[in-house]
């Protein structure tokens, strides 16, 4: 699977320059900017910065024909589509935005004695923009995130002090933007079971360390996502039948699924009372804990982090695993929490939270869609309905 990329070009002030002929890149993932930047350079001799997504083939999550807005100093033939502004557009998706961000990074890196020799765009989409910054002391990574992830730099700063060596090292940080020292290795999407279990044990250690710092983390901007908050958000998403973007892309949830979801939401108070009785405390939750966010012993990507129930991270980590492997993960997690909180019942809380975790996934993706401009909806529009249907299928799990 590949992408056929069309680039609509503007200059750094936002003036239309034209459209490049389509070209193919082998990397199918829409947020990946590296292949697009290299393709424009190789096939058209242009240095570009990808700003944002403009269009995709309906019904796809990656690959296919993709159109991006990109900035450059060189003109091209063709006429661009409507480039009107949108209030939910990310700063890095606006003409001139990347230049401001890179200027900020350059000033701070020079101030700490690591002047930037070259900046290479790696990724851009509605959840982040990432550049590799080459310096005399080795590469660093610049990451910029939207307002709903703006607490990530503060979380990384706390993690560096509380659990050194387990997370990326922030060099410079401000709300919504952070420069991190490079983490060697590759993202471990194909990690084996032993590696996944070891990372899960490390995560529990981090979460136990965070138990005494909830007030500090909350004051730093980490969102509180307690069970009561989740009930209100889940009720809203179910009432909206997934939201406009989801309904357009994936269709309406079936009537029987909506009935099961209504019953599940109505029973959440009793289910949450049973969860609290299990004694596993609320703490710092990574929010997207899967093996692709691992490099060696380091856990990456804390933008989704919240203060909530740690079993959500376990259930995310176990998604897609064979049942026997998932049981190994659950067993390791259970042992760690029983050791950390004597008398708690982690095994029961996992079963109680299974349908709730699916509701939470639907809430998360619907929340992304609510906070991004419509041209970016294709990234997440097909992600709301599947967890809603999964939650409906699990609605009968005892509460």
Coil/strand/helix, residue 350 = helix
Residues 280 and 227 sit within 8 Å (Cβ to Cβ): no
Instruction: Give 250's Cβ-side CA count (13 Å radius).
Output: 23
Coil/strand/helix, residue 210 = helix
Low-confidence ranges of the chain (pLDDT < 70): 74-83, 397-399
Q: Let me know how many helices (H) and strands (E) the chain has, helices first.
A: 13, 14
The DSSP bridge partners found for residue 130 are 123, 143
Q: Which fold has domain 93-181?
A: Phosphorylase Kinase; domain 1 (3.30.200)
The DSSP bridge partners found for residue 229 are none
* pLDDT for residue 398: 56
Residues 345 and 279 sit within 8 Å (Cβ to Cβ): yes
Beta-strand ranges (E) seen in the chain are: 3-10, 16-19, 23-25, 49-56, 64-71, 118-125, 128-134, 140-144, 170-174, 177-181, 283-285, 294-295, 298-299, 306-308
Query: DSSP readout, 154-192?
Result: HHHHHHHHHSTTSS--EEEEETTEEEEEPPPS---TT--
Q: What residue ranges of the chain are covered by domains with CATH 3.90.1200?
A: 193-393
Sign of the alpha-carbon torsion through 289, 293, 297, 299: negative
Q: How far apart are CA 170 and CA 142, in angstroms?
A: 10
pTM: 0.89
CATH for the stretch 193-393: 3.90.1200
* pLDDT for residue 79: 44
Q: What residue ranges of the chain are covered by domains with CATH 3.30.200.20?
A: 93-181
> Closest by alpha carbon to 55, among 46, 66, 47, 44?
66
Q: What would you measure as the largest C-alpha separation in the chain, in angstroms?
A: 69
Provide the terminal-to-terminal Cα distance of the chain, rounded to the nearest Å: 43
DSSP 8-state symbol, 397? S
Angle at 333 between CA 330 and CA 338, to 5 degrees: 120
Q: Where are the alpha helices (DSSP H) in 13-151?
A: 34-44, 97-111
């Amino acid at each position: 699977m590949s992408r056929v990329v069309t680039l609509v070009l503007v200059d750094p002030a936002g003036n239309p320059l034209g459209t490049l002929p389509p070209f193919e890149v082998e990397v199918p993932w829409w947020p990946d900017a590296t292949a697009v930047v290299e393709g424009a350079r190789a096939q058209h001799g242009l240095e570009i910065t990808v700003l944002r997504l403009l269009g995709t083939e309906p019904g796809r999550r990656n690959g296919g024909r993709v159109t991006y807005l990109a900035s450059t100093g060189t003109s091209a033939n063709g006429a661009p589509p409507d480039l009107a502004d949108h209030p939910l557009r990310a700063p890095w998706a606006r003409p001139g935005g990347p230049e401001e961000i890179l200027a900020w990074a350059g000033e701070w890196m020079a101030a700490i004695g690591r002047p930037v020799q070259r900046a290479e765009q790696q990724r851009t989409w509605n959840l982040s923009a990432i550049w590799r910054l080459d310096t005399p002391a080795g590469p660093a990574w610049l990451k910029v995130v939207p307002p709903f992830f703006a607490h990530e730099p503060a979380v990384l700063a706390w993690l560096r002090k509380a659990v050194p060596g387990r997370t990326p090292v922030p060099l410079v940080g401000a709300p919504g933007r952070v420069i991190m020292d490079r983490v060697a290795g590759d993202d471990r999407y194909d990690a084996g079971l032993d590696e996944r279990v070891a990372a899960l044990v490390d995560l529990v250690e981090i979460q136990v360390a965070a138990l005494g710092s909830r007030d500090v983390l909350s004051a730093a901007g980490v969102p509180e996502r307690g069970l009561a908050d989740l009930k209100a958000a889940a009720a809203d998403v179910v009432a909206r039948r997934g939201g406009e973007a989801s309904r357009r892309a994936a269709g309406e949830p079936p009537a029987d699924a909506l009935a099961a979801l209504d019953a599940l939401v109505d029973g959440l108070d009793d289910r949450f009372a049973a969860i609290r009785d299990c004694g596993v405390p609320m703490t710092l939750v990574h929010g997207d804990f899967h093996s692709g966010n691992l490099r060696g012993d380091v856990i990456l990507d804390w933008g989704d982090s919240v203060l909530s129930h740690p079993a959500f991270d376990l259930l995310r980590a176990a998604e897609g695993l064979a049942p026997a492997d998932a049981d190994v993960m659950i067993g390791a997690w259970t042992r760690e929490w029983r050791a950390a909180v004597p008398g708690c019942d982690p095994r029961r809380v996992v079963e109680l939270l299974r349908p709730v975790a699916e509701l939470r996934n639907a809430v998360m993706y619907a929340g992304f869609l609510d906070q991004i401009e419509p041209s970016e909806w294709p990234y997440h529009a097909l992600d709301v309905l599947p967890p809603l249907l999964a939650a409906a299928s699990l609605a009968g799990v005892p509460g």
